[in-house]
Amino acid sequence: MSNDIIDVSMISNKTNKQKAAITAVGGFVPDDFISNRDLEKLVDTNDEWITARTGIKKRRILKKQGKGTSYLAINAANDLLKKKKIDPKSIDLVILSTITPDYHVASSAPTVASEIKAINAYAYDISAACSGFLYGMSIATSYIESGRYKKVLLIGADMMSSIVDYTDRSTSILFGDGAGAVLVEPSINNFGWEDEYLRSDGVGAAWLNVKSGGSINPVSQKTFDNKWHYISQDGKTVFKSAVSEMAKATEQIIKRNNLDSNEIKYLLPHQANKRILDATAEKINLDKNKVLMNIKEYGNTTAATIPLLMYDYEKEFKSGDKLIIAAFGAGLTWGAAYLTWAYN
């Protein structure tokens, strides 16, 4: 018997099963926004500093009273359904990836499914922060590949303004509100979800989180006084980890699928910070013109960043284009995936 150790990270997840493909995309961002100039009035910062460090000029903010993440998700889903003339009754499952659900206990996905009239679907939330859409794609494609369902609606949506302290310079400059949606169905042309490499490490949970609201630090006067209900981060540590792990995951996907950088049409990275995106592209020797970005207009919308990229750049994609997705988020969670675009 051989004692050779097998590197499982180099084993592709490709199978001969039914391939799953993204067949439609939709998106929504609020009209209202906070610009860098607006933030200059709230914290010690300026437009030049924010732009140089993050690449962000504005971040969209949902200001409608009584509306939350489900409102963003519903609008993104309806955009997809209307654009592709899809009967919502044909949807089997709705998955909502978010860290800012409408309520702490009740899932927001059932609200979305009801409002879009997906009456034959069941629905649930998942939470993996900025990796949420990528993790959600792993779940959605698995349902299709198994043959269990034919139409899965995956939505990444976050109302980050609900957990941002606008007196905290380290986080207020980064986050915005938005939603992106994709429909996942069986491929009809053998293009679609090709491979994925997903990882997590709880050691970094304290580096990026909302300290209160969960079971460890229940709501109390102390949690309010200490502003533990807002998102906080160890910026330098998160930055280093994001660059390192996103690059490593992307390299794994490229290597084990025998891809050449020239073959890759685009990299769709989580829109965390332009410096992270540039550093990741440099580490994998990818032409920066192939790195898609919309962070300038939206900021970091957490689970919505990647589907919003697909929404904004949909017309640039052609059937058969080889795309790489990469993400890194709280948890810690991260990963990369390889897909071939399925339609023109």
Q: pLDDT tens, 147-164?
A: 999 999 999 999 999 999
Among 36, 75, 130, 209, the active-site one is 130
Domain 193-297+304-340 has CATH 3.40.47.10: yes
Contact of 9 with 195, CB cutoff 8 Å: no
**What is the number of other CB atoms lying within 10 angstroms of the CB of residue 303?**
37
Q: pLDDT tens, 36-74?
A: 999 999 999 999 999 998 999 999 999 999 999 999 999
CA gap 3, 5 in Å, rounded: 6
DSSP-assigned letter for residue 289: G
Please tell me whether residue 196 adopts helix, strand or coil conformation: strand
> Computed from CA positions of residues 248, 254, 260, 266, in that sequence, does the dihedral angle turn out positive or negative?
negative
Q: For 19-36, give one letter per residue: b (16+ CB within 10 A) or e.
A: bbbbbbbbbbbbeebbeb
Task: Considering the domain delimited by 20-186, tell me its CATH architecture.
Answer: 3-Layer(aba) Sandwich (3.40)
Q: pLDDT tens, 107-151?
A: 999 999 999 999 999 999 999 999 999 999 999 999 999 999 999
Q: pLDDT tens, 246-282?
A: 989 999 999 999 998 889 999 999 999 898 898 888 8
Among 270, 273, 285, 294, the active-site one is 270
Q: Is 300 a catalytic residue?
A: yes
**What does the mean pLDDT of the chain come to?**
93
Which residues, in sequence order, are CB contacts of 20 under 8 Å at separation 6+? 140, 141, 142, 143, 144, 145, 184, 185, 186, 187, 192, 193
Strand-pairing partners, residue 325, are 268, 337
Q: Is 209 a catalytic residue?
A: no
CA gap 287, 7 in Å, rounded: 29
- What is the rounded average pLDDT of the residues 272-295? 90
pLDDT exceeds 50 at position 2: no
Domain boundaries, the chain: 20-186, 193-297+304-340
In the chain, the percentage of residues whose pLDDT exceeds 70 is 95
**pTM for this predicted structure:** 0.93
CA gap 82, 75 in Å, rounded: 10
Res 8: pLDDT? 53
- Is 20-186's fold the same as 193-297+304-340's? yes
Q: Is 130 a catalytic residue?
A: yes
Res 55: pLDDT? 94
At residue 1 the predicted structure's pLDDT band, cuts being 50, 70 and 90, is very low
Among 36, 209, 273, 300, the active-site one is 300
At residue 238 the predicted structure's pLDDT band, cuts being 50, 70 and 90, is confident
**Is the model more confident about 17 or about 215?**
215
Please tell me whether residue 63 adopts helix, strand or coil conformation: coil
Adjacency order of strands within the sheet including 20-28: 20-28, 177-186, 152-159, 93-97, 122-126
